[in-house]
Structure 1
Amino acid sequence: MVSFSNLSDDELLFLLKKEDKFAFSEIYNRYWEKMASYSIRLTKSEEESADIVQEIFISLWNRRNEISIKGTLCAYLIKSTKNLSLRYIERNVHNTHFVEELADFIADKSQDIEQNISLKDLLLEIDKGIAKLPKKMREIYILSRDEQLSYREISKKLNISELTVKKQISNSLKIISEAIKGRFSIAVSALLLYFFR
């Protein structure tokens, strides 16, 4: 009997296209927790995050024969999680209670979240900031944001110290923050950089 837990993501995707339900279950078991955790960070809602993850996996199964993934499966699933979580945020961004919960970490509570913020515009500016990062710093930032790897995992993957990883990510956040300065309020910039880092 095949041990699906030992298969690579590419092998699981190959089997998924052949309608292998065990391969699908392994993908689910491998990534649902990371996806849910990421979504909860964004939406602040465990219930909504559970629905988001479920919707992504239903879509993955329904599109199994036509799906084309560029890059890693993990990055694809995290990106899908981010996109659906953003839709939730966009639907609720004018809900006072939701905004208050989402902005809890901001030190200066007197600053209001912009009422008419365009998340797509802000994310576009953030992506432009990321594109300006030095190559190595950009690679580390993307591994952290898109792959959701920990400092330790990035350290091992790139054969550098955890301290270096931490400093590079911290510096990248400063550079990206500077890139969008003036276009959006400090509160919103801090909020989005925190949740989408």
Structure 2
Amino acid sequence: MASLLHLSDNELLLLLKKGDESAFSEIYNRYWEKMASYSIRLTKSEDESADIVQEIFISLWRRKEDLVIKGSLAAYLIKSTRNLSLRYIERNINVTDFVEKLAEFISDKSQDIEENISFRELQEQIDKGVAKLPKKMQQIYLLSRDEQLSYREISEKLGISEGTVKKQISNSLKIISESLKGKLSITMSAILFHFLR
């Protein structure tokens, strides 16, 4: 194992492709700390960053035989860390923002009792809006929100362009927002806007 310390990244990758666990361990030891630090800066979450780094290395091991890396191993690992970290942010920023806005709303004692809409009622209204979407748009929206797939993953799954996916999701949010007009208070509508965005 000690001798692996002197091997280059490219040499380690060649061994990795042959299933060498020691080479995998050396790659992990060289880069996990840098990857975790980078992810923490992006996500602000040590736990999530640890999971992100673990996911990258699990994927690296599983795909070792077919792995094609253009450029340096370090750049590949950092890029992977960035991509997964940004995906985490994309998936969680809306929920975080919604919870914060909802907490502000509930803590404001001046609001009318009827404006204290429950999560269940809110979800029912959203579900009704989703049900009104055209079938293809509904499918794309649910893949994005329920299965939390990225635009690229949806694009590959459905065989359509990422631009089409983005446009369909944007349109679906407009339709859902329109369907909720007049059914929610102004305050809750503002909060919902942040949630759906």
Normalised TM-score (structure 2): 0.48
Q: Return the index of the structure with the highest Cα Rg.
A: 2
